Amino acid sequence: MHAWPASEVPALPGQGRDLRIHDTATGGLVTLDPGPVARIYVCGITPYDATHLGHAATYNAFDLVQRVWLDTKRQVHYVQNVTDVDDPLLERAERDNVDWVALAEKETALFREDMTALRMLPPRHYIGAVEAIPGIVPLVERLREAGAAYELDDDIYFSVESDPHFGQVSHLDAAAMRLLSAERGGDPDRPGKKNPLDPMLWMAARPGEPSWDGGSLGRGRPGWHIECVAIALDHLGMGFDVQGGGSDLAFPHHEMGASHAQVLTGEFPMAKAYVHAGMVALHGEKMSKSKGNLVFVSQLRRDGVDPAAIRLALLAHHYRADWEYTDDVLRDAVARLDRWRAAVSRPDGPPAEALVEEIRDALANDLDAPTALAAVDRWAAAQQEHGGTDIGAPGVVSRAVDALLGVAL
Ligand code: 5CA
Ligand code: ZN
């Protein structure tokens, strides 16, 4: 699949910082040392509805990860998937009496537009589940040969007990895992499974549903977790720097994915950090396509909201916090954007070097965007109150805000 166009990232004077970030697997902050090419996999959308602010908040967090790395002059090898065949997509297509392929294409196209408008850096490889199927089949075959997979009727399941490290991403107990598995696409109550938590690797063709030739697996379609593993291993290999997504992906998705990859390769861990963004809520509940309590990025854009203001609304919250979207959040972001734009519209102003360092320090410290925004606020307030004599300082601020926060002033 093609991704979306990249906005330019201005180079900044001085030195970038190494990123220290919260890793769900260890439960603490880790300083990443990616080498010249940083490798990141971020789980993509299931394209059955438009991009909402929760998605945008999660992708914003991982965009910041890349901007911190780019500021250290590293290259970033970024991979993202599109879950373009899965139960929720097929169910929505059926409900709305539309072709599932057309639905996925339409929503993926809209996602690209939203990401472009928000100045999110595109992945180098943007891969659909459907196009990954030829790579998924041999992985499932290998898991079966290794005794880590078994058949139930004609479906194929992964045995979580085959991975001695199973549980080391989310650290949940069996009861919590079982509950979340039932909520998030698993089938813990299906009779005949070796362990209720075992996730499906390959689902045998169902009448009326799309299916593909799976060689020795028979016709069917891939399970959710093996999709991301196949794409990540194909394009990044083991031991990549960051596996990213919203906190609702820690279990089962990232736990199972890590187990698949670790059993397949015999290496541990799959990723050096498992990074999870908090959940954005609306009217007291997590924004979700299944509940329908959504604020769409595309709707805000149609309403004439500047995408830079949407981005500032996201950046005003720490990526790990769960937060509630209200009209006030957007109103504050619009006002902040106006203040910042006024402050950089003059040729001179207060010195900017220290501000650039403050933004760098804040982001390198577990992506503390709110602290970075507060630093820019102080500079903008000083500019408004008494101005300054540094020629070119507003340009430096504008480039730093663009390069590090993805906001075009
Ligand atoms: N296709 C899978 C990942 S392989 C999937 O979870 N798709 S999704 O469309 O449901 O979500 C895309 C990303 O947005 C995931 O990282 C998910 O954790 C995140 N996300 C979904 N809802 C919210 C929310 N309310 N707040 C923050 N992030 C969210
Ligand atoms: Zn995924």
Q: Which atom of ligand 1 is nearest to the CA of 247?
A: 18
Rounded to an integer, the average pLDDT of 356-361 is 98
Task: Assign 291 a pLDDT band (cuts: 50, 70, 90).
Answer: confident
Ligand index nearest the alpha carbon of residue 46? 1
- CA of residue 114 relative to chain centroid, distance: 14
Going along the chain from its start, the domains and CATH numbers come out as 20-286 (3.40.50.620), 299-405 (1.20.120.640)
Q: Give the distance between the most distant pair of CA atoms in the chain.
A: 76
Question: In this structure, how many other beta carbons lie within 10 angstroms of the beta carbon of residue 327?
Answer: 8
> Helical H runs in 118-173?
129-145
Report the alpha-carbon distance of residue 229 to residue 186 in Å, rounded: 17
- Which atom of ligand 1 is nearest the CA belonging to 42? 16
Establish how many alpha carbons lie within 13 A of residue 2's alpha carbon, considering only the half-sphere containing its beta carbon. Answer: 6
The whole-angstrom separation of Cα 323 and Cα 318 is 9
Please choose, from the candidates 123, 5, 18, the residue with its C-alpha nearest in 3D space to the C-alpha of residue 70: 18
279 C-alpha vs ligand 1 centroid, how far in Å? 9
pLDDT, residue 292, reads 81
Ligand 1 site residues, Cβ closer than 6 angstroms = 43-46, 54-55, 57-58, 81, 83, 228, 245-246, 248-249, 277, 279-280, 286-288
Say how far apart CA 99 and CA 335 lie, in whole Å. Answer: 42
Which residue, by CA, sits nearest to atom 22 of ligand 1? Answer: 54
Q: How far is the CA of 290 from the centre of ligand 2 (A)?
A: 18
Mapped to the 3 state alphabet, what secondary structure does 85-100 carry? CCHHHHHHHHHCCCCH
For the CA of 58, the closest atom of ligand 1 is: 28
- Res. 289: pLDDT tops 80: no
Q: How far is the CA of 53 from the centre of ligand 1 (A)?
A: 10
Distance from residue 394's CA to the centre of ligand 2 (Å)? 40
Token output for 228: 């991301």
Q: Each residue of 55-101: pLDDT tens digit?
A: 999 999 999 999 999 999 999 999 999 999 999 999 999 999 999 99
The phi-psi region of residue 31 (left if phi > 0; otherwise alpha if psi is between -120 and 50; otherwise beta) is: beta
Nearby residues of 304 by Cβ (< 8 Å), 6 or more positions away: none
Cis peptide before 252 (omega within 30 of 0): yes
Q: From atom 7 of ligand 1, which residue's Cα is the shortest distance away?
A: 45
Nearest alpha carbon to residue 120 among 208, 201, 218, 3: 3
Return d(Cα 253, Cα 238) in angstroms, integer: 17
Pair 58, 245: CB distance under 8 Å:
yes
Query: Rounded distance, CA 302 to CA 65, Å?
Result: 29
Query: Residue 290: pLDDT above 80?
Result: no
Identify the residue whose C-alpha is closest to ligand 1 atom 17: 246
Closest residue to atom 24 of ligand 1, CA basis: 54
- pTM score > 0.85 for this model? yes
| Ligand 1 centroid from CA 45, angstroms | 6
